[in-house]
Amino acid sequence: MSSSSINVPKIPSAAETKQQAAEVQSQLSNSLSTLVHNYASTTPARVKLIDSFLLFCVLSGVLQFAYRILVTSFPYYAFVGGFGSTVGQFVLLAGLRAQVAPGRDSEFKAISQERAFLDFAASSVILHLFCFNFLG
């Protein structure tokens, strides 16, 4: 909080600083809550589902990479399989999200949601087969 005033050359009084900090905080929380509220109210449920899966993929990938660095990468193919499945799933999900989210590009308008989901599911199944093969 006080760090926001360090950049200001003229040293403000304590009350002023407090007031400013409170203002900044309220603005920040305001915009955050607006963001969350807007996300919650305007985003369709299916996109929220995609986003939670994306989050899961990112966390899983980060944990695996940390394990590979800190503990072991042996056998390397198992790491490639595990890490590849999270990355690949993330990419495929991102593709699906681009096709079904409300503000999607006009080039995807011709593609129906059912078609997009079918593409996603089929490619995911192939991805998982590859990844299990890599696990050894």
To the nearest whole angstrom, how small is the minimum distance from the Cβ of residue 59 to another protein? 10
How far, in Å, CA of 83 to CA of 125, rounded? 16
Q: C-beta of 51: minimal distance to another protein in Å? A: 11
Instruction: For 41-92, give the DSSP string.
Output: HHS-HHHHHHHHHHHHHHHHHHHHHHHHHHT---SHHHHHHHHHHHHHHHHH
For residue 75, say if its preceding peptide bond is cis, omega within 30 degrees of 0.
Answer: yes
For residues 114 and 92, the answer to whether their CB atoms sit within 8 Å is no
In the complex, the smallest distance separating the C-beta of residue 13 from another protein, rounded to whole angstroms, is 54
Residue from 32, 94, 121, 122 that binds another protein (CB under 8 A)?
121
Closer of 35 and 132 to another protein (Cβ)? 132
For the bound state, the minimum distance from the C-beta of residue 130 to another protein, rounded and expressed in Å, comes to 10
Q: Interaction with another protein in 34-93: which residues (CB under 8 A)?
A: 45-46, 49, 53, 56-57, 60, 63-64, 67, 71-72, 74-75, 78-79, 81-83, 85-86, 89
CB of 132 to another protein, least distance (A): 6
Cβ(20)–Cβ(12) under 8 Å? yes
Return the number of other C-beta atoms located less than 10 Å from residue 24's C-beta: 13
- List interacting residues with another protein (CB under 8 A): 45-46, 49, 53, 56-57, 60, 63-64, 67, 71-72, 74-75, 78-79, 81-83, 85-86, 89, 113, 117, 121, 124, 128, 131-132, 135
